[in-house]
């Protein structure tokens, strides 16, 4: 891939699972990268290997407070993204999405920087449209246990588009569907990391509900490529929102069986009650991404899971 013109890029949540991969790719492209994280869910281990680069800088900061730096672009990824973490302190989760968006948009306005919001498929709630297209407004419970994240991200999208309309700010909004890969947190409670850890430890594989709910799993390298293409899209007046995810659809039972196959684990499968407001279907329509930025995932679930399993094996062996 040819090197792009050097830019100074701010990545909030840059020490997280997705953020660390994004920082890595931006550095590979010849950019100066400022990684901002308060380490609530991000981990220094995710970015230690980047410290060797003179073009990489870390700043410990909480985006619910204003930030004053000079950059060319901003990727706003800061927010706990798994139910275990965002339900731990739901008020702070909402503040991170809303106050964080206000602070990053204010910064972008002041320095005239282009800014991308890492939104989520959770803005669709438990969808009545399948697969989900960007024009769908969603089916979200505004007062449930997941609402701090769902509604926080929806409000952040509102702020982004209001700043765009009112101040002419150049924005990009990516709606990210389930993403997995190396550097996922062991305790994030997501289905891929849960199943892999349980299989490697020989523990029962826990499925909530009957396992017939569906998800679409996108490998992290594919997702990062989509985000960067969206940020660099021309013409610059294209805002999104744009779905980024893998349209391949699997039941949770199929995922469990695949993990058992790839790990060679003898773990049994056990069933537990389905959590409140857990969506039954998740599948992105990525027609817009294909036609606008020429993007679609290329890494098959089996291949991505193998890489993720190897990471978890190495990581758990080191602790």
Residues near 58 by beta carbon (within 8 Å), at least 6 away in sequence: 14, 15, 35, 36, 37, 47, 51
The 10 Å Cβ neighbour count of residue 132 is: 25
Residues 239, 85: Cα–Cα separation, whole Å: 29
Tokens at 291, concatenated: 């036609």
Catalytic residues: 149
Residues near 82 by beta carbon (within 8 Å), at least 6 away in sequence: 41, 185, 188, 189, 190
Of 163, 82, 178, nearest in space to 132 by CA: 178
Of 224, 215, 131, nearest in space to 174 by CA: 224
Our measurement of the distance from residue 289's CA atom to the centroid of its chain's CA atoms, rounded to an integer in Å, reads: 16
Residues 153, 119: Cα–Cα separation, whole Å: 6
């Amino acid at each position: 891939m040819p090197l792009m013109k050097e830019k100074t890029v701010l990545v909030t949540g840059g020490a997280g699972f997705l953020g660390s991969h994004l920082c890595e790719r931006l550095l590979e492209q010849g950019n100066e990268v400022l990684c901002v994280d308060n380490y609530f869910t991000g981990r220094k281990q995710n970015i230690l290997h980047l410290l060797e680069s003179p073009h990489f800088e870390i700043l410990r900061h909480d985006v619910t407070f204003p930030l004053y730096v000079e950059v060319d672009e901003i990727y706003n990824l800061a927010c706990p993204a798994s139910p275990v973490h965002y339900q731990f302190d739901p008020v702070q989760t909402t503040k991170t999405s809303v106050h964080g968006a206000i602070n990053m948009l204010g910064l972008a306005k002041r320095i005239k920087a282009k800014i991308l919001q890492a939104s989520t498929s959770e803005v669709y709630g438990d969808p009545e449209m399948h697969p989900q297209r960007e024009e769908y407004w969603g089916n979200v419970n505004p007062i449930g246990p997941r609402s701090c994240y769902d509604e926080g991200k929806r409000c952040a999208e509102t702020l982004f588009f209001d700043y765009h309309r009112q101040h002419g700010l150049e924005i990009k909004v990516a709606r990210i569907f389930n993403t997995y890969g190396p550097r996922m947190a062991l305790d994030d409670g997501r289905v891929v990391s849960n199943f892999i850890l349980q299989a490697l430890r020989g523990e029962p594989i826990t499925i909530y509900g009957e396992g017939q709910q569906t998800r679409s799993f996108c490998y992290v390298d594919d997702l990062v490529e989509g985000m960067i293409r969206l940020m660099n899209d021309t013409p610059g007046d294209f805002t999104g929102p744009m779905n980024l995810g893998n349209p391949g659809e699997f039941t949770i039972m199929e995922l469990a069986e695949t993990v058992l196959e790839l790990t060679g684990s003898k773990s049994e499968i056990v069933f537990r009650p389905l959590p409140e407001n857990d969506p039954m279907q998740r599948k992105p329509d990525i027609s817009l991404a294909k036609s606008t930025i020429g993007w679609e995932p290329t890494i098959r679930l089996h291949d991505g899971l193998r890489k993720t399993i190897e990471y978890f094996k190495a990581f758990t062996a080191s602790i």
